[in-house]
Amino acid sequence: MEQWVTEIRGRLTAEFAQRPAVCVMATVDLNGRPTARCMICCEIDHTGHLLFVSDRRTGKDDHLRACPDTEICFWLSTTQTQVRVRGVATVVDAEADTFMREKWWDQLPRENRDIFTSAINHEGQIPPMPQTFELIVVDASEVEVQELNTRPHKKQLWKDTGGRWESSVV
């Protein structure tokens, strides 16, 4: 596991504990304008991929299909730290990977699944996964941790240099 993955996971766990890891995802819309929205990062896997659930009916999925470059920004208020992850996103839709989508659909809390469906389920059963349920997987290429509680600010930077991560303090 890359050093940055361990560090970022630890910082997010310390900040959010059992709460959702809220971040901002920036994309470029179909007219070339920047756009950003709050998202919940569901996972950072051991290889450094960030995973998000999404709905096909939202604009960000179209944005990422047209221009997969994205940047994710977490604000960790407890430590006054900003974590930025730049990378390339892949939208995992119904044609790409049903197994992976079903795995994440089954893990979602009921109230989150209700966002994707109009069916109200009072018996606790998992409603069928809609075709519009998608995943966004971000393959990180650059990670920056900037501690803003120090003077001067302290910045740690990791860059993927063709399959090998290099670290520097800026």
Q: Is the whole-model pTM more than 0.85?
A: yes
pLDDT tops 90 at residue 97: no
pLDDT of residue 62: 94
Q: What's the chain's average pLDDT?
A: 91
pLDDT in tens, 31-65: 999 999 999 999 999 999 999 999 988 899 999 99
pLDDT of residue 120: 57
**Count of the separate structural domains present in the chain:** 1
pLDDT tops 60 at residue 28: yes
pLDDT in tens, 98-123: 888 888 888 888 777 777 776 555 56
pLDDT of residue 114: 74
Contact criterion met (CB below 8 Å) for 50 and 87: yes
Please report which confidence band the pLDDT of residue 147 belongs to, taking 50, 70 and 90 as the band edges: very high
Q: CA dihedral in degrees (99, 104, 110, 116; nearest 10)?
A: -80
**Long-range Cβ contact pairs of 40-44 (< 8 A, separation 24 or more):** 41/12, 41/72, 41/74, 42/104, 44/5, 44/8, 44/9, 44/12
pLDDT tops 80 at residue 125: no
Q: Exposed, middle or buried: residue 105 (CB in 10 Å: 0-12, 13-18, 19+)?
A: buried
The enclosing domain of 48 has a CATH number of: 2.30.110.10
For 32, the domain range is 3-169
